[in-house]
Amino acid sequence: MAQNSLTALRVYGVAAVDSAQTSSLANSTSLVHYRALAAVVEPSAYSNVSLDEKEMEHYLAILDEVTTHAAVLPAPPGTVFRSHGTLTAWLELHYFTLTEAMNVIEGHSAARVSIRTPGTPQEAGGAEKSFQALAAESLRALRGQAVATVTLPHADEDEAEGIIARASFLIDGQRWTQFEEAVSVEAKRQSAVDFQVTGPWPPYDFVRMQFGT
């Protein structure tokens, strides 16, 4: 029965937190400190986490709450460490890399831009390649507004929804309105396709945590 006890820690992310802070950054969580960083954690069994819709909603809600208090590097959904000690050792081992990443994302949020054809893929017909070229041109133009850009892979539902391109942009929080205006300009310039921007999001698309030694 020991393997089912809540002695492990589920990690939601690593936040920039003063070492003297003891209060949690999100409901049901606590902090594991290492110098100027702290992991946002919850007690967990040391086992695989079933990432169903309920679990993903909980994961996103925790990170949304954390971002209202501090900059955070999101951990992959379902990340679990065996113990407080193994987590602290990991924070120590990767402290320099985590701090560098924090310097990049602090004060920034992610904007996700989707570009779609106005009709169904069947209605687009032979014009789909032309639409893709227009989308690629607009995404290149928007890169100048961002600190970093990631082209997002196609999702299973993209074809059914007519989405031909998606990208995530890391935006300075003080320039969010300007970025939305830049998207509006592109939408008017490329009126053959439709634009959608969502966010601000935590920087999910810009963080790739390493868990090896």
| Cα dihedral 18, 94, 207, 72 in deg (nearest 10) | -10
Domains observed in the chain = 2-105 (no CATH), 108-206 (3.30.70.260)
**Per-residue tokens: 99:** 């701090």
Mean pLDDT for all residues in the chain = 88
> pLDDT digit string (tens) for 57-79?
999 999 999 999 999 999 999 99
86 vs 22, more confident? 86
> pLDDT digit string (tens) for 113-163?
999 987 655 555 556 678 888 888 999 999 999 999 999 988 777 777 788
pLDDT at 167 over 60: yes
Closest to 195 measured CA to CA, from 94, 118, 127, 99: 118
Q: Record the pTM.
A: 0.80
Residues 176/111, Cβ–Cβ less than 8 Å: yes
| Cα dihedral 25, 31, 34, 37 in deg (nearest 10) | -20
Q: Which amino acid is at 14?
A: V
